[in-house]
Every structure is written in structure tokens, then in C-alpha cells.
Chain A
């Protein structure tokens, strides 16, 4: 204490020592803490003094579930609940009743497909025995409630969600269906009833619509003739809004593209287009054109079916793909120089081209992990190598997320879309090989990170 200082000064100095230092700037709370707090707020304080709560958290990523359980425990405790985490895989509601808990809070957590958000959905289930329902011991004393919350997912949360399946591969690859002939193009989308995605495959001879399980729904043969011969048959295919129908297909050498409508188990011709439908996704449709007399495309990426659209360059393309859900990467164009361009919604480059993103001519864009950025599901760019499916994270330092065992055949086409129904994109690739009689056959390979598909 300085000598001679007055008591008010002493008091001020003492106050400085006692009061905490002001925070420089409050950092946003971790995503899981924010989401847990939001869910606790939605739940509200304990009613009628019933504070004992059994907490059961489920997620397809166990590390995410464990960390979320801690955050929820803290958030609920601060709001007056006495929280007991549920352990074991048994009947949580039965456990809550047996343990004399007042409530069971069952929370399911995951990433919102295509969005960088973590979502929580909770069920608040009463677990006490009702005096008035003694003859029905399993009956709930009061109606249960559903509460939900979401928060922007920070990188740490994405990490927990992505690396959740310890020891499991990033995705699995399995054969979905086998089609006769050489599949030239694939597309996934809602071609008929809204909310029911289908898989569409085009060969030189026909278009086939398959269910997500690979069962044939409808097919239509192309009319014979009227096709300028090309040495390497090729086609483009898209599912989207094309006027009279939602399936648009163009074959190399054909004068015009066809628009098809799926009506029940019939595939009907609904119109024609003056440009090749390249792809369709949440960011829109793209149209282009085959180089005359060839199976490759001119470098045309037009938002409308404009036969006079000017090529961006003299390059030729193997194909163009759209991400089912538009994130930073909405489209990808693969040149015959094997350079893959990643494009945003505005068709401007979304990421620099890198050799590590090389792919063969069959590829797809699909946000397999639901982190909001589409992965490139690629084939082998080296014709002398064995064919393999590779999943590449285009914006990551080390893009390779998965490399499959060797695949029989050559992957020539691909498409992205949710086929397993888990709300997260999957990819389908067409691997063409030679059948026992020398004829071409195509195996459709499902690439998915759906945990139900993991071996």
C-alpha cells in the first residue's frame, strides 16, 4: 500500500483486486453446449417438483453422443434437473421406471443433411407411476413431449460426427443391382412422386428407372435408328424439372434430347430438348452439347437448354455432375484432360484444381458425411491400374477419405443422391464389365456412409 494514499483511493484499489477482470470478448459456446442449452430451454424447468431425469442420448457417431450427453447433463442440471445418464442398451423407459426416475429424456443427435448444423430431437417421457392408472402400470402418467434444437456445427462437432464410427471405414461400397448392357449415364432424383427418389440408368438402347433398392420400376427403349454413329457411345442424364417430365436424357449422335415422364410403372416421352441435359441438383440444372461425331462434350455449361450457348473453352469434357445439395461445391466438370473443375453455384471455381482430386470418367458429387460439402466419389484415373472407388474431400488437406478394394470392371458413370433414406447423400457408380458370353454388363455400386450399411 503506498504511503500517504487516502482511503477512497485505497477502496478503489481494493475493488480492482476483488472484482474479476473483464473478459476480452466472449467466444461463442461450443456447438454442442449451445445445442444442449437450447434443448434444455425448450424443455423448461422441472414441473411439479419432478426433477429426477434419466438421460439417454443416441447418435450414429458414439463420440458425438458421449460429448453431447455431458453437455446435456450440465445444461439440464443448471435448470434444476437431477440427471442420471442411461447406460446399457436395454429398454430405457423400463429402466427409468424401475429406477424411480420421474422422466426419461431420449435425445437423438446428428448433422442436418447438407447443412453445417447439429440437430437434437428429444422425447420427454414421464416415468413415474400414476395413482390413477394403477391397473395400467405401463401407461404414462402424462403425455410425452417432443422438443428439438439445433445449432451451427463447429469443426469440433463435425470431427466428432465424422469420426464417430471408430474402426469403421468412411463409407461402404456394395452392389445395388446388375443391369444388362453398358450403362452410359446415371442420375438420382425424384422422378415421380415427391419425396421418393429413384435411380435412373441410360444405356445405348434404353432408359431404366430403379427403386433405391435397385428394383426395376420402369423402362423405355430408345427408337431404333436416327443416331449418328459414334465410336464410343455416351449419354447424359438428369432428373429435375424439365417441363413435361422430370427425366432428361441425351445420347451422343442423337439429334435432340428426350424428356421422359415417370407415370406409375410407365416411362413416357414427354418432350424434347435442343441441348444435352448434363446434370441437375439443388443449385440448378446445366445443359451442354456433345461434340459432333464423338462421345465427349463441348465445354458448355448453360443454365438453359440453349443450342447456341458458347463453349467456355476449347476443352472437351467427359461429364458434368451436380451436388444433390448445394454447398460450396455445386458442380464438377471433368475434362478429357482428366482435370476436375470444382464449381460453385455461380459456376465460378470453388476450389483450385489439384492432382490429388484426379478421377476417371465415372464420378459423382455427394455429401456422404452430411458436413455440407460434397465429396467427390471417384474412379481410377489410370487405365493401367485396377479400378477402385475413391472418396475424396475436395477442400481437405489430405483429400482421400476412402479407397475401396479393386472393383471388377470399369466405372464409367456416377450420380449422387439419398438412396438409403437416412437424409444424407449416397453415390451410385456404374462399373461395366464383360459377362460370361462376352456381352457387357453393368454393376451399380452403392457408396454410402449410412451406418446401417457398414459391414
Chain B
């Protein structure tokens, strides 16, 4: 019944505003804070790259603005079987890649496996609950034991542990079926060129309204100027840049402090106390550009009951403060330097001398994996607003697969909603994580842009964008 209702909703496309229907148009130009890249499926980490991945792959399930799951590549939202340990996935027939190749259940199975086999595998957490995932992740098995292709359009996924919220994993961008998105990334002629996305005529929802989309990396000043002159139709940056204000995006890029207790030893206590005492609201207001909120627990603030985030339990214990700690931060992610420097001040106030060490994304990842840090600031673009999945993704990025699995087992089961905040707090302490803030972007729209409706997961369906007044398709 639920699936049927969801299917009913799918056939109702987003309603146009007032009385103007969408119309095909030519080229849309979008400004972004960094140059996006078309990366192998399931390996994008930066928000700009995830935007490209979302455009070039087709989500198995969609999330609407109200936070409901809708069919996507799958013809229906799967229902749990075997007490939440199995899900039967039925694909819509007639799926084709942008090149015209038929796509089916085997492609979904292969993609789930590839999330675990990719190196790096930043989104292996998506397939982690599937039976046999750890064997694939460790290289001990070539395929997932828990994925059984039943027919061209049906597969049975068996999980290693009950996870009723598994369909939400299928709605994440990393789980989306590659080569089946609304657009195809065209080859760049030079690094200075914008990334060009070309419409996929075979997309299961129909041809996108825009024939092409250009993705430009622009600084705020250039973005404002181009928006005013019509050189850009949409800008997604932390700052508001004039034009028409677009709909709000959920702030879902979380920044988490990771304390290396093994390296700091007894000195980790004062560091934890200092970090947990930080006024997260002040961090969000003063040290993050764009829309930001305090992220006091491992789960998204929206999942917390009102007032539950106000008074975290007092830190217990604590030993001698370390002589000096290093705060490792991502030099390429926005706001991380400012946040690290604020932490530096707060640690100093607590009697801990700290230095800030900036590293690019890959080096930061390598040092995290090697345990080569005292305190690390880790930005995590949350792929799902579902509490257990958001917490699992943070745990995976910060602490690895075992931590993610532990979070999924604790939070992903039949946990009452009112117990989630307490359980998340305990998990954060157990994993030595201090969630701090979450940030988002603002949408600044040109006069003609229409169809921007962010999902509850912060995703943007570029195929739904169009220009008022049409234009040469």
C-alpha cells in the first residue's frame, strides 16, 4: 500500500508555480564555489562533485522536499522482509543508459559492489549493511553475498543485520545507478572550461528541460556580476548574491571534530572537555559562511526533539592537559580553516596549546586512516537526512567501517525516536567524535530560472530546471 501510494505520487510531477508549465530550453549556466569534476561513480566527496554525480546517475529512490521516499530507478519503494533483513528491489522496465544500453538488476548489483571495491571508497558505508560487504571491502570476495539477481528487473538484497531504514540508503546519491542520470558529462577541452552536462534523451523520467548545463566555478564577486548580467542562471554558494532568493537548502555538510584518544592518551580528556564546551551556535553564526546550524549530536538536528540539544551531559574524568596538540583540517573545504582557528582559541582558553595543520582532502584522508593527528576537523556532506544513516556516514568517514556498522546496528534498528538522541550521544562519546556545525548553500536565481526544488536530502534534480520563456531546445 505504501509503495502504491509512493508510485501514485511519482506520476505527479512537481507542480509548476502559477500557471506556467515548464518548457524546453537551451543552455543553463550554474555557478559553484569550486570547479566540479566528473569522477568515477561512487567516488565523489565534495558537494560540487556530488552535484555532478547526482546529475549523471539515476537515484534508485528519490526524496521529495517533504522528506518522503518516492520511486526512482526502482518502480516502487521496497518494503522490509524477514524482519528488516531483506528487501526485494524491483526496477522499472525499459531502463537505458545515456548511450542506449539496457540497464537492469545486474547493473544495480554491480554498482553496490563497486561502492565497496573502489579505492578510495568514500561511500562504502552505503553498501555496508549488505551481507558480505566486509569481505568485498577487504578484498576477500569479488561480489556481495547478500545481493541475488532474480531476474532482469528484480534483485533480492539480504542484510547482515536488521535495518528497516535501508530504503533510505538506496535514495542516496552514491547508490544511484551510473550512466542513467538526466545528463552526461562531456569531456572538457581544457581545465579552464566549465564542466558541460548534456541532456540524456533516454532518462527514465523523460528528457531534461535544459539541453545543456554548464557548471562554472565562480568567486562571490564574479558570481554576483554574472548573475546580474544574465551570464549565470543560478548560483549555489554559501553567500546570497542578489537576484531572486531560491528555496532554502537543508544545511547538511557536517563538520565533526575527531579526537585521537590513542595518540593523546590521558591528555585526550581535557581536549574533549574543551571541544564539547564550545558554543556551537556561535560557531555556526560567526565562523561559517552561509546558512549554518549547530550540530550538537551525531544525528541531524532536525531529528532531535526540541530542546534536547541544549544541555549535553557534563564531561566526566579528564587528565593532565597535553603540552601541545595539532588540529588537522581540510584546506580545500570551505570554512574549515576558520573553524580550526576558533578551536585553537578555545583549546588555548582551556589550557591546551594548539596548532592548526591544513592538508588537502586526500592527505587529510590518508592521515586520518593512519591515525596521524591529534584532533582532526572532518567535513562530511551528509547524503541522507535519516538519523541512523547520517550518523553512520559520519562514523565511517571519521572512524571507518566498523564504527559505521556499529552506528547502524544501534541507531538503525527499531529504536524509539525519543531514544535516538541519547543513543547518538553515547555513540559519539564511544567513537570520540564531537559534532560541531552543519552548513549549507544558498541559491541565487536569475530572473528566468524555474524548477529548483531541493530535496530533503539537499539534492538538486538538475533535469527539472528550466528557463521561463523557453528558448531554443
Contact = CB atoms under 8 A, between A and B. Distances in A.
A316 B12 contact: no
Contacts, number: 119
- The prevalent SS among residues of B at the interface is loop
Contact of B18 (A291, A410, A437, A440): A410
A386 B18 contact: yes
A433 B18 CA distance: 10
B82 interface: no
Contact of A232 (B5, B17, B18, B21): B21
B470 A385 contact: no
B19 interface: yes
Nearest to B22: A232
A229 B204 contact: yes
A337 interface: yes
Contacts of B306: none
Contacts of B11: 204-205
B66 A438 contact: yes
B13 A384 contact: no
Contact of B21 (A234, A384, A386, A438): A234
A278 to B, nearest CB: 16
Nearest to A363: B19
A205 B13 CA distance: 14
Nearest to A339: B469
B470 to A, nearest CB: 3
A410 B15 contact: yes
A335 interface: yes
A410 B17 contact: yes
Contacts of B473: 291, 294, 316
Contacts of A182: 12, 15
B13 A379 contact: no
A295 interface: yes
B207 A293 contact: yes
A412 B16 contact: yes
B19 A380 contact: yes
Given A293-B201, A335-B470, A360-B18, A440 B12 contact: yes
A384 B12 contact: no
Interface string A190-234: 000000000000001100000000000000000000001111111
A337 B204 contact: no
Contacts of A433: 15
Interface in A404-440: 409-412, 432-434, 437-440
Given A233-B13, A387-B19, A296 B24 contact: yes
A236 B5 CA distance: 27
A440 B15 CA distance: 8
B18 A384 contact: yes
A331 interface: no
A235 B8 CA distance: 19
A246 to B, nearest CB: 27
B311 to A, nearest CB: 36
Contact of B205 (A231, A335, A438): A231
A230 to B, nearest CB: 4
Given A232-B13, A316-B473, A380 B18 contact: yes
13 contacts: A229-B204, A234-B21, A318-B21, A336-B24, A338-B468, A361-B21, A362-B19, A380-B18, A380-B20, A383-B16, A384-B18, A434-B15, A438-B68
Q: Which 10 A-B pairs have the closest CB atoms?
A: A360-B19, A379-B19, A336-B470, A336-B23, A231-B206, A383-B17, A411-B19, A229-B206, A293-B207, A230-B206
Given A295-B21, A296-B23, A383-B20, 12 more contacts: A182-B15, A231-B209, A231-B464, A336-B23, A337-B469, A362-B19, A380-B20, A381-B18, A383-B18, A383-B468, A385-B18, A410-B18
